[in-house]
């Protein structure tokens, strides 16, 4: 009797949950719209629309009836248990945050994104600071509600990487930093760096090749589309997963590798088991695991010697001779390490150093050790210290990323965690597919992407992030495979 009742409660719970997940997808659609096609004058109204949607979602997730159903429901299999885990997590979070605050955050961050974009275009930090201060205030208030006496930043990280803390991240960076800095410094002192790319590459031809690259990496166009955005992103789950990229005539690698990166995110969502469609586990399980997919597509596969050999022939076919004499030279050009302001344009070696800097700055902002008004100076000082270059303009400094404007504090570290996971997955992938380079060299990605779909993507949020990666690689994840890989790869390229 009790089991029957519990199974009924589970079914009722899942019917409700499907609607809630569908409404979450609607909010994702609005986010896509806002960043790609929304008229600028609609920003305030969109803020109200987002707040109304957040009010609906919050009411559903914090509903005491949902709590009662969760208490009564019994899952009959592992997938059901995972659904309950995800629902319990969402419910527990929602009941802690007042609805008015949740709505205010939705409204403010929606509008703030436009404010950030305008300030960035105008190189005007002062125009952004009041907005950023308000976002920090609201997110700290939310974190206080969530942490219930615990650490605010930990509560924020938990939203993106369940179970992870600021201390875990600090430990990860403690392991990564010395080897990355040492490698970077050796590279910067190398005698014969690879040749830089020069010339102009038509935007239309870049976009055509970008589309072909998306297809090559397995993106399903029948359930997605690609547009241009200021800040490339992937959006949506299941059967409507859209990507964006950007294009500049002088920098085709930015377009190509932004595209491959977002395809990694999108394929994770498109390849989740269709049985999980519009359910709580029908999505990527965490931001760290998500980034492991985008990063392994972009870096370990996309920037490999074998694949860049194929890309070299593609570029020569489409752009003619462009001043790089051989596939081997092109491999160096693609992987060139150089000083640069922009995180998203950074090479594999320095990328995580950008993240470490953001981690320390945002943690200080949230703890109150750093005030928003002092952020620009703190950013510029730290950048000079870490990268040896003075920031020359705000869009190359603290205005470069959208994240803080939309309240994504605690999110940046998941990028480095993703790199770490990608290193582990790549090691296991190479073990299982010893002939992988033969495929990559002819532009065939399916053996690699099939492996990733089987080991990671299809599971959605069935397992916890760490369990998922541990199962996929057969051991606990560490930073060693990533660091070993980078040292080997760049020692070859730079003849260290």
What residue ranges bind a copy of itself (CB under 8 A)?
Answer: 18-20, 22-23, 25-26, 29-30, 33, 37-42, 44-46, 48-49, 51-53, 55-56, 220-225, 238-240, 242, 277-278
Q: Residue 56 Cβ, how far from a copy of itself at the closest point, in Å?
A: 5
Q: Residue 213 Cβ, how far from a copy of itself at the closest point, in Å?
A: 18
Q: Residue 41 Cβ, how far from a copy of itself at the closest point, in Å?
A: 4
Measured CA to CA, the distance from residue 348 to residue 476 in angstroms comes to 23
Measured CA to CA, the distance from residue 52 to residue 99 in angstroms comes to 10
Pick from 127, 130, 107: which is nearest to 49 by CA?
107
- Going by C-beta distance under 8 Å and a sequence separation of 6 or more, which residues neighbour residue 290? 265, 268, 284, 414, 418
Q: Which is nearer to a copy of itself, 36 or 144 (CB)?
A: 36
Q: Which is nearer to a copy of itself, 49 or 154 (CB)?
A: 49
Q: Residue 275 Cβ, how far from a copy of itself at the closest point, in Å?
A: 14
- Going by C-beta distance under 8 Å and a sequence separation of 6 or more, which residues neighbour residue 322? 197, 199, 201, 315, 316
| CA angle (238, 230, 311) in 5-degree steps | 75
SS (H, E, C) 47-66: HHHHHHHHHHHHHHHHCHHH
Q: Does the annotation count 262 as an active-site position?
A: yes
Catalytic residue from among 262, 291, 298, 348: 262
Q: Which is nearer to a copy of itself, 42 or 338 (CB)?
A: 42
Q: Which is nearer to a copy of itself, 46 or 489 (CB)?
A: 46
Pick from 20, 4, 467: which is nearest to 279 by CA?
20
Measured CA to CA, the distance from residue 82 to residue 190 in angstroms comes to 50
Q: Residue 210 Cβ, how far from a copy of itself at the closest point, in Å?
A: 17
Strand ordering across the sheet containing 226-228: 226-228, 242-245, 234-235
Q: Which is nearer to a copy of itself, 103 or 350 (CB)?
A: 103
Q: Residue 373 Cβ, how far from a copy of itself at the closest point, in Å?
A: 31
| CA angle (334, 335, 341) in 5-degree steps | 100
- Going by C-beta distance under 8 Å and a sequence separation of 6 or more, which residues neighbour residue 191? 495
Q: Which is nearer to a copy of itself, 44 or 381 (CB)?
A: 44
| Catalytically active residues, by annotation | 262
């Amino acid at each position: 009797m009790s089991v029957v009742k519990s199974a009924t409660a589970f079914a009722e719970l899942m019917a409700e949950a499907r609607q809630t997940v569908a409404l979450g997808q609607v909010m994702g659609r609005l986010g896509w719209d806002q960043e790609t096609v929304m008229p600028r004058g609609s920003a305030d109204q969109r803020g109200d629309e987002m707040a109304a949607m957040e009010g609906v979602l919050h009411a559903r997730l914090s509903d005491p009836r949902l709590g009662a159903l969760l208490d009564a429901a019994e899952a009959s299999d592992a997938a059901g248990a995972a659904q309950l885990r995800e629902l319990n997590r969402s419910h527990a979070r929602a009941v802690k945050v007042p609805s008015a605050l949740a709505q205010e955050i939705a409204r403010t961050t929606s509008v703030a994104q436009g404010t950030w974009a305008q300030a960035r275009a105008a190189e005007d930090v002062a125009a952004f600071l009041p907005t950023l201060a308000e976002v920090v205030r609201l997110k700290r208030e939310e974190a206080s509600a969530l942490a219930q006496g615990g650490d605010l930043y930990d509560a924020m990280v938990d939203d993106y990487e369940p179970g992870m803390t600021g201390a875990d991240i600090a430990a990860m960076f403690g392991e990564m930093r010395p080897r990355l800095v040492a490698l970077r410094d050796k590279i910067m002192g190398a005698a014969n760096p690879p040749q830089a790319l020069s010339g102009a590459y038509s935007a239309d031809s870049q976009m055509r090749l970008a589309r072909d690259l998306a297809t090559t990496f397995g993106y399903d166009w029948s359930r997605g589309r690609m547009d241009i955005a200021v800040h490339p992103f992937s959006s949506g789950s299941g059967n409507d997963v859209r990507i964006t990229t950007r294009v500049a005539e002088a920098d085709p690698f930015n377009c190509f590798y932004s595209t491959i990166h977002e395809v990694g995110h999108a394929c994770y969502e498109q390849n989740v088991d269709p049985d999980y469609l519009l359910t709580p586990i029908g999505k990527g399980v965490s931001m760290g695991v998500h980034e492991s997919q985008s990063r392994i597509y972009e870096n370990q596969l996309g920037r490999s010697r074998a694949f860049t050999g194929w890309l070299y022939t593609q570029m020569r076919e489409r752009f003619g001779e462009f001043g790089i004499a051989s596939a081997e030279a092109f491999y160096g050009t693609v992987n060139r390490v150089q000083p640069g302001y922009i995180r998203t344009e950074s090479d594999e070696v320095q990328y995580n150093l950008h993240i470490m800097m953001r981690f320390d700055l945002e943690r200080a902002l949230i703890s109150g050790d750093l005030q928003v008004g002092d952020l620009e100076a703190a950013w510029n000082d730290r950048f000079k210290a870490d990268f040896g270059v003075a920031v020359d303009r705000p869009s190359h400094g603290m205005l470069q990323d959208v994240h803080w404007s939309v309240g994504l504090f605690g999110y940046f570290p998941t990028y480095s965690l993703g790199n770490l996971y990608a290193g582990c997955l790549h090691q296991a992938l190479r073990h299982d597919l010893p002939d992988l380079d033969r495929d990559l060299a002819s532009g065939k990605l399916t053996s690699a992407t099939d492996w990733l779909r089987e080991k990671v993507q299809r599971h959605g949020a069935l397992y916890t992030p760490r369990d998922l990666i541990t199962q996929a690689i057969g051991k606990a994840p560490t930073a060693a495979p990533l660091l070993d890989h980078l040292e080997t790869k760049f020692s070859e390229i730079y003849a260290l």
